[in-house]
Amino acid sequence: MSDPLVSTAWLREHLGDDDVHVVDASYRMPGMRPPLTVDDYKERHIPGAVFLDIDVVADRDNALPHMLPQPAIFAREIGMLGIGHDDLVVIYDRGDYMGAPRAWWMFGVFGHQRVKVLDGGLKKWLADGHPVNAEAVSPAAKTYRTDFDETRVRRIDQMTRNVETREEQVIDARSRERFEGSAPEPWQGRRSGRIPGSLNVPFNELVDPSTGLMKHVAELRRIFEGAQADLGRPIVTSCGSGVTAGVLSLALARLGTQSALYDGSWAEWGLPDGPPVATGKP
């Protein structure tokens, strides 16, 4: 499996290629200020980049946050961004791995084979002295074809069955405090705790804080194995609302392990009438 990351140097070299399309998929958690990453995009973005709002390219009839849209909706929205199903898509965020891995996963779910994440995002791009601008981008729409891969998505009924069968390992990307139930949830009205039997790999531990780059493959392997994950067995990633779980799935892909992602994540499981939760240290 090829590395799902590309460097800023690679993107700078290929930025003008006809089949390379750059997507800003930055996202902020609830309560963060300023709340709208599209405003950041309008102020400055990688030249030619379009903006993908994961709250808009979503199932907006579902009360849960940014749930996966129907294939026809995804095809319409991505086609309007001027992206075709054979194009090479490079996705970035502000450099905090909030948004880009989720969008990378979405493209993969809908069968897009040529999709990458910019390692270090806009933070690394700027640090390396590469250009940005505020020019409006108005691409010509394309016809986009999807090929839905249900093996990369998990729903709550599958997750509740798995609590009993333990056929798949569930790895939670939230902080240790949220995983153990000692910190309140940012998603209003959710209980604290974790899915019973799940493991914990906080997503930020996979990133080098000094550079914003994802850690080397050997270190990623050490972190997952240190959390008691068996990389040879099926894995499902989870988090607060299906965003930072994408960071785990991205890191696992770098290790040659394809995982599924629980779309509803804690925003669904943690509802007052949701399934049982576990708390405290595992």
SS (H, E, C) the chain: CCCCEECHHHHHHHCCCCCEEEEECCCCCCCCCCCCHHHHHHHCECCCCEECCCCCCCCCCCCCCCCCCCHHHHHHHHHHCCCCCCCEEEEECCCCCCCHHHHHHHHHHCCCCCEEEECCHHHHHHHCCCCCECCCCCCCCCCCCCCCCHHHEECHHHHHHHHHHCCCEEEECCCHHHHHCCCCCCCCCCCCCECCCCEECCHHHHECCCCCCECCHHHHHHHHHHCCCCCCCCEEEECCCCCCHHHHHHHHHHCCCCCEEECCHHHHHCCCCCCCCECCCC
100, 109, 118, 239: which is the annotated catalytic residue? 239
**Contact assessment for residue 93 and residue 100, using Cβ atoms and an 8 Å cutoff:** yes
Tell me which residue of 261, 280, 106, 268 sits closest to 170, measured CA to CA: 261
Q: Is 194 exposed, middle or buried (0-12, 13-18, 19+ CB in 10 A)?
A: buried
Strand pairing partners for 199? 171
The torsion defined by the Cα of 75, 76, 81 and 85, in degrees rounded to 10, comes to 30
Determine whether 74 is an active site residue.
no
What residues act catalytically? 239
